[in-house]
Structure 1
Amino acid sequence: MGIETTRILDEIDKHTARAREGGPEKIRESLAAIRALCDLLLEDGSQAPKKPRAMPLAMAETVNRPQSVPSATRLQEEGANGDSLFEF
C-alpha cells in the first residue's frame, strides 16, 4: 500500500514553488522536504512494498517482561540523622 507517484510529484512541485518564493531558511526547508520525497520515490520504485519488520524473539521477550526492582535495605550509619539523602 504505497503512496501514488503522482501525489508525491505534486508535493515536490509545491515545495519547489515555496523554495522559489522564500528566503534562505524556506529554501533549505523545501529542499530537505524534496530530498525526502525523492528518497521515498526511489525506495518505493526499487523494492517491493515492505512488510513491517518483526522484532527478533529475544528482543520481544525482553520488551514484554516486567522488570523487577530490588528491595531497598536501609543503611544504619553512625552520625546519620534521618532518612533523607540530603541529611548527613
Structure 2
Amino acid sequence: MAVTNDTIIQKMQKELAQAKQLTGDERAMKKHIANIHLLCELLLEEESVPGAGSDFTAEEMKAMIGTTTFPTPRETTGKVLEEDGANGDSIFDF
C-alpha cells in the first residue's frame, strides 16, 4: 500500500501546526520537528530510488554475493598421540 505524496505533505503540515503551537515547550516542539524530518526523508527517499522495491536479477545477486566456496573441515582420523597435551597431526591441534 503506497502513501501518496499529498498525504505525506498533509501530515507534515499538521506536524508543523502542532510545533507552532508548542513554541513554549521546546522538547515537545522538537518532537514534532523530528516527525517532519522523518516525513521529509520518506518523501525524498521515495523520489531518489528509481524502481524502489524491485528485485535483483540473478546476475546482480551473483555479482554481490560472489561464487566463493568455503572448504569443508577435514575429517578427523581418530589418531590420538600418547604424548602429554598432544592430540593431532598439527601443531595447532590442542
Q: Normalization by structure 2: what TM-score?
A: 0.51
Which structure has more RCO (C-alpha within 8 Å, separation ≥ 6)?
1
Larger Rg: 2
* Residues 1:17 and 2:17 aligned together: yes
Aligned length: 54
Give distance in 1, aligned partners of 2:40 and 2:46. Answer: 10
Unaligned runs of 5+ in 1: 53-88
Task: Give the gaps of 5 or more residues in structure 2.
Answer: 56-94
Q: Tell me by how many angstroms 1:51 deviates.
A: 4.7
TM-score (norm 1): 0.54
| TM alignment of 1:1-88, pairs within 5 A | 1-22=1-22, 23-47=25-49, 48-51=51-54
Structure 1 consecutive aligned stretches of length 4 or more whose deviation exceeds 3 Å? none
2:53 partner SS: coil
Corresponding letter in the other structure for 1:7: T
Shift of 1:50: 1.9
What is the aligned-residue RMSD (CA, Å)? 2.2
Is contact 1:2–1:44 with CA below 8 Å preserved after alignment? Answer: no
Aligned-pair distance for 1:26? 1.6
